[in-house]
Structure 1
Amino acid sequence: MAKQEAGLGNQSILTKIDKLRELNIGTSIPLPQLVVVGDQSSGKSSVLESLTGFAFPRGATLCTRYATQITCRRETWEGISVSIIPRPDADDDLKAELLAFRRNLLAFDNDDLALIFAEANEVMRIQEDIYDDNLGLRAFGQDILKIEISGPEQTHLTVIDVPGIFRVATPGLTTESDVIMVRNMVKSYMANQRTIILAVMPCNVDIATQEILKLAEEADPEGVRTMGVLTKPDLVNEKATQVAIMDLVLGKRNPLKLGYYVVKNRGADDSTSTISDRFTAERAFFMAPPWTAVAERCGIQALKASLRELLMTISKKEFPLVKADIEKDLQKCRTSLEAMGPSRSNQTSQRLFLGRIASNFQNITQHALNGHYSSDPLFDTIPELKLVTATIGLSETLSDIFWKRGHKRHFSSESRNEGSDETPFDYYTDIYPELDDVICPDIYVCPEPQEGRIEDHIKTIFKSSRGPEIGTFGGTILATAFKEQSEKWEALVLAYTSKSIVLVHTYIGKLLAAVCPDEQIRTQLWDTILFEKLQSGYRRALSHARFLLSLERNGTLSTFNHYFNSTLQKKRNERQATVFEGMRTDSDHGAYILLQDLAQMTIDKDNTQQVCEDIADSLESYYKVARERFVDSVCQQVVNHFLLDDKEGPVKVLSPDLILSLDDEKLDLIAGEDAISKHQRHTLEREAEALNEALKVLRGN
């Protein structure tokens, strides 16, 4: 009983795989199968007839013009069913016509089968002979003729027959392109890693030179799924040839792990014998030497039993993997269809499609600006989407470079920073040529501040522009010194802003590609509405950066920050401390200065030196206040506001409101489906439907 149940289970697996093949799943997912290949006139048709019990009608050539799937099933009733499995790229009308073709016979009848084959030939647009002058016909096709043979004596076996390889075209019937097409068709079936290759070759040729073996070796280099089938042994009379064949069958010079079998074909003039007659004649033939030495590998019954076991073994082994492949492909189809969105045949569906893209874009952007990177897996796969992290890092770099190198000359009191010139805001305009007329074209190299006493340079400025003041200095002198001391600010800020724009531009491009995988829609969306608005946003940021520069460097020097006065007093105290150092007296209780000495203290300086020192102290005090204020203003206003937070800024451009404002013409231009997209959607839907049906078959639904 257990053995019988196992047999039923095995038959169920084979039946399911046959149904998958009917759904054309085998075109995308390798299925376990037996494929018979060989040259024309190799005896391939006779082998198939003996294996399946199906004799192709005499005079019919269609069985050699396309792949033929022959399935034997054990049933209580007898019959033959002929149908067509359409090629994958058949359009809907042709597919319906091919699927509608189905013919049934209760028994084998040569004339009836010949008529059925002729009808199938007409449906598949196959040229039957050289007298067909219809230009719409072909010599070979990619549809599959399906033949099902049922009967109580049958055992489950499915064999795929492919056209025999030929090398010379027949004028009026085949062409050189047909030679190549058949060869490629045979190679495609052999390439399937779940296929057992039955390489059919006649005994009366040099096996080593057979092209079919070379093709099998290309597809199966290790020879683990190729079986040799030697035909026409009755035509071999030479002793040496018989020995060579024995060596092959015995495995003495056999690279094929599945080995060789020998079968005897029916004679060319034998048109009356039955299958039973031929089996009897074959057994009698192999009972004579030298075939008795390899009796277990001679005859169609031995071959059939071995093939049935092979097919069952590979089917049981690969069945779970086939199911996993189908689930994987179905998920890919669904993902692709989801990325395409719903059908966009009218303005409502088009607006809804783009609205979803815009909403997704803004949701992710909100997370990017808040640093909530765990909210979407895109942040892990696309590092450029971590926008706020990148801009904060850039702003810190600006602050650092301003502190170290933003001034033209070193102040007397500050420490020096060793190092070469820096390019803290490098970006490459060749990556985004569309930004050439927006951002600064040149990369700024920031040099070290100049050495030397800044008081000496201030003295030069003072002498060239002093007024009538006595013991003081006019505001223009401090403004002139500050403008010169801050002359690097413009290049640094414009380079920083340009780099920030590049970061934002990269972010928008990467995110748009992620939320809108359709390149055509993305390109139309970008070119039609986005880029012009992005350029406007970038220019507003640069314009505000220039406004802040002008305000800080060209306007009236002004501050209400108490830090300015405290720094100025500290600078003056430092200068006085130098004088105090020479007046102090050391004692056991510490150092001290007499009050009367302080009252009589004078510093030997001329008026110009004193004024220039006051200018230097005021300049350094004001510069530090202005520097901190300016850096914060640039980072907060130019980048944070104009590039990131402004509701009309670049990262806020693609919004649902923008999509709602589009007129019908622009909407259709951006989101309307062209013929290619419609075809792609249709193909994906058909593939998903077939894969879904395949899963139902595997689950037994």
Structure 2
Amino acid sequence: MANNRNTSFLSDPALLEKVDKLRDLNIGQHVPLPQLVVVGDQSSGKSSLLESLTGIPFPKDQSLCTRYATQITSRRGDVDRVDIRIIAGPHASEEHRQHVEAFRMPTPSGLKFRQDFANILQKANEKMGLRADVSMANGTVFSEDVLKIEVQGPDEDYLTIIDVPGIFRTTTEGTTKDDMVMVRDLVTGYIKDERTIILAVLPSNVDVATQEILELAEDYDKDGRRTLGILTKPDLVLEHGAQAAVCDLIQGKKRPLTLGYFLVRNRGPNLESEDQSELDQIFRTQPWISLPQDRMGIPALKEQLGSLLFEITQREYPKLLQDVSSQISKCRRDLDSLGPSRQDEREQRSFLTHIAGVFQDRARAALMADYNSDSVFDQVQLRLITHVVNITDLFSAEFQQSAHLRHFQNPELHEPAEETVSSGEDFQGSNSLGLTISNLQDLLQATGVNDITQEELAELGEIIDLSHETTLPSDDVTSWIRDTYLNTRGMDLGTFNANVIATTFSEQSRKWGDMTKVYMSRVIVTIHRFIATTLRSVFPEEQSRRHLWSSILDGLLQRYKMAMDQASLLIEVERHKNPYTLNRQFADALSKARGHRITELLRPKARKDTRQYGELQNMVNLDDIAKAAEGKSNMEQQQEEIHDIVRAYYQLALDRFIDNIFQLAVDYSLLHGPDSPLKVFTQEWVINLEPEQLERIVGESKVAKKRRLKLAKKIQDLSSALKILKI
């Protein structure tokens, strides 16, 4: 089976070459790659094993031990050549990346390369900024960079192995605990991936239970399915008990691994003259000769490694292709979430102009109740005009029902009584849509317009006021008008002081200011929330959006205040000017009220008569009409006249005021007028911003710029990887 697998492996090296090209692009930091990684404790014989597998004389001197990952790739080819370069680590700066990737060592032949390998390592160490010797003070000891060695020649077999620094438990001269942690992190970074075959190098003359690397492998390969044990130094195992323990490992009787164990003998410091076949003669002796020979020696191990590398690459190739594609899609989504690039003034102005245009489109749709134009209007807070209309309906209903200080008399009633006769009578039941005041209050409560957040209060606190509660009118209008008349009358014969009308009306409309301020405050809060919510929907980047918000906030507050001032002006004009109207309905209402009073005075003297028209009629004597008001004092007549004039005027003024407040203070000042707060953030506003303001508002932070560059580079690398995989 091993020979068949190796034949298949040798017949299709292109698949493995593709993965090597991905490794050159450092794609392994983004997507796990199929690979063989040699790991082991220091002094486990790892360097000697690598030399046996690759023919490269890795130094065994502690001062030149493996201090970074080394990727060794051998491939068969007609030309004898060696390529050596450094791949920057995943966390390297751009400056360091350019520095190390400029490393080149001219090595025309494999023989020359092997003879000069120690010098090559020293040069690579210098390029990475490592100490020439571990015990030296200057420079670092270990690096995340990768030394890539690619050997090609007619006698080479295709194999790629990654060597990582050996794990050590205690610090030695020149190393620190931080170095221990870094090496451990470097090793685990390679072996944790599911597509990595862990080649755990274990000296045969040491109890495997004491080897930390095997415990570390178990942490990431719980079932031992992708760990292959390589036992070295069999010549140092002299005791029968120790030899039996090694045999148990090879035969799977002790600490079994799915990939099993191999026993190899490597050339030591004193065995340079011996070739591999001579070293392997030890496996012809007891107890090793009794073990499966396909688990003995470097040739068997090399064949197995070649098969393993091909099998895992072939098995994982479709998943690898899918992972690269998925990573590209995710990176593009992440890049899209950052929005368009905003590196210079042109990009910044274009970006913010687009945001302002979208904002204005949504504001126009919200004012037209065109909620089907964008799914964003599923958010209740964005249904602007609907909330404003509901708030206005409630204001109108409560205003007509409760804005007067005292109930007026109703001269139309057959029996004198003090009743509500304002135009709010419609809202005793419901409005034209069948909505009662209670219904409207429920609608308002659902929007949360009365629940102001601390942030909103900090921004709007000096403008809005929602603290006033509406009280119902009292029923003492007669005594109140009498007291007002007594306190304002002069030497008038049959008439009254005209100022009493102004005084009475001003007092009767005393609640207008507070009720109107609550109404305006509710509308302002609704608009303020709409603007904030819409900005979040069109500009999701929080930090830049906060800069934009702080830039437009003063303009918003100024326009809110202008609208509130407009409402205050309307209140002042209505309540404190001399009552006057050209509306003919005033005269009609006053005449009607006077007529009803005379009618009620005559009602007791009327007699029932059915002679005319065949129906029961109230008939009065004309002489009774002239005497109808007899018996009333001058004060009573004056009080009634004042009441009826104020009542007729109040009704007209109230309807006019409600319309004016909505039309001038809300619709014009807050919604549609040229100074509406909805028109603070416009494309024209963006065009007029200075470059410094643009940079402050939408200039990308260092973190965002770094993330954008990182994502763009990752997309570029992954796209190159995808192209390689699909060729």
Query: When the two structures are superposed, what TM-score results if normalisation uses the length of structure 2?
Result: 0.76
In the other structure, the counterpart of 2:116 is 112
1:40 pairs, out of 30, 39, 42, with 42
In the other structure, the counterpart of 2:25 is 23
Cα 1:93–1:622 change in 2 (3 A) is same
Q: What SS class does the counterpart of residue 99 from structure 2 fall into? A: helix
In the other structure, the counterpart of 2:556 is 534
Q: What SS class does the counterpart of residue 129 from structure 2 fall into? A: coil
2 CA distance for matches of 1:214 and 1:470? 116
2 CA distance for matches of 1:669 and 1:303? 58
Equivalent pairs counted in the alignment come to: 684
Structure 2 contact 250–295 (Cα < 8 Å) conserved = no
1 CA distance for matches of 2:246 and 2:581? 106
TM-superposed CA distance for 1:284, in Å, is 7.2
Cα 1:247–1:609 change in 2 (3 A) is farther
575-584 vs 387-396, which moves further: 575-584
In the other structure, the counterpart of 1:545 is 567
In the other structure, the counterpart of 1:639 is 666
Structure 1 contact 330–691 (Cα < 8 Å) conserved = no
TM-superposed CA distance for 1:196, in Å, is 4.6
Q: What SS class does the counterpart of residue 578 from structure 2 fall into? A: coil
In the other structure, the counterpart of 1:186 is 187
Deviations 1:433-454 (A, max 9, x none): 65256423x5324244145454
In the other structure, the counterpart of 1:321 is 323
Q: How does 1:538-687 map to 2 (within 5 A)?
A: 538-560=560-582, 592-596=616-620, 600=624, 606=632, 619=646, 622-663=649-690, 682-687=709-714
Please tell me the residue identity of whatever aligns with 2:579.
Answer: L
Cα 1:161–1:355 change in 2 (3 A) is same
Q: How does 1:173-572 map to 2 (within 5 A)?
A: 173-192=174-193, 194-202=195-203, 207=208, 211-212=212-213, 215-216=216-217, 219=220, 223=223, 226-232=226-232, 234=234, 237=239, 239=241, 242=244, 246=248, 250=252, 258=258, 260-266=260-266, 268-269=268-269, 270-274=271-275, 288-289=289-290, 299=301, 301-302=303-304, 304-333=306-335, 336=338, 338-341=339-342, 343-344=343-344, 351=349, 354-375=352-373, 379=377, 384-403=381-400, 405-409=402-406, 412-413=419-420, 414=425, 415=428, 425-428=449-452, 430-432=454-456, 435=459, 438-440=462-464, 442-450=465-473, 452=475, 454-466=477-489, 476-512=499-535, 527=550, 529-560=551-582
| Aligned-CA RMSD value | 4.8
1 CA distance for matches of 2:26 and 2:539? 31
Please tell me the residue identity of whatever aligns with 2:568.
Answer: R
Q: What SS class does the counterpart of residue 547 from structure 1 fall into? A: helix
TM-superposed CA distance for 1:409, in Å, is 4.7
1 CA distance for matches of 2:88 and 2:563? 60
2 CA distance for matches of 1:573 and 1:37? 111
Please tell me the residue identity of whatever aligns with 2:575.
Answer: R
Please tell me the residue identity of whatever aligns with 1:149.
Answer: V
1 CA distance for matches of 2:578 and 2:196? 86
Structure 1 contact 43–231 (Cα < 8 Å) conserved = no
Structure 2 contact 230–263 (Cα < 8 Å) conserved = yes
2 CA distance for matches of 1:27 and 1:694? 13
Structure 2 contact 70–148 (Cα < 8 Å) conserved = yes
Q: How does 1:87-106 map to 2 (within 5 A)?
A: 87-103=89-105, 104-106=107-109
Deviations 1:83-141 (A, max 9, x none): 111234544443333223234453255332222222211111111314645x4x21111
1:64 pairs, out of 63, 66, 72, with 66
Please tell me the residue identity of whatever aligns with 1:266.
Answer: N
Cα 1:265–1:448 change in 2 (3 A) is farther
2 CA distance for matches of 1:246 and 1:574? 120
1 CA distance for matches of 2:332 and 2:10? 29
TM-superposed CA distance for 1:387, in Å, is 4.0
Cα 1:577–1:183 change in 2 (3 A) is farther
1 CA distance for matches of 2:590 and 2:10? 99
Structure 2 contact 18–724 (Cα < 8 Å) conserved = yes
Structure 1 contact 201–231 (Cα < 8 Å) conserved = yes
TM-superposed CA distance for 1:51, in Å, is 5.6
TM-superposed CA distance for 1:431, in Å, is 0.9
Please tell me the residue identity of whatever aligns with 2:179.
Answer: D
Cα 1:483–1:323 change in 2 (3 A) is same
Structure 1 contact 444–491 (Cα < 8 Å) conserved = no
In the other structure, the counterpart of 1:149 is 151
1 CA distance for matches of 2:50 and 2:585? 99
Q: What SS class does the counterpart of residue 102 from structure 1 fall into? A: coil
Point out the structure with max Rg over C-alpha.
Answer: 2
TM-superposed CA distance for 1:544, in Å, is 1.4
Structure 1 contact 200–231 (Cα < 8 Å) conserved = yes
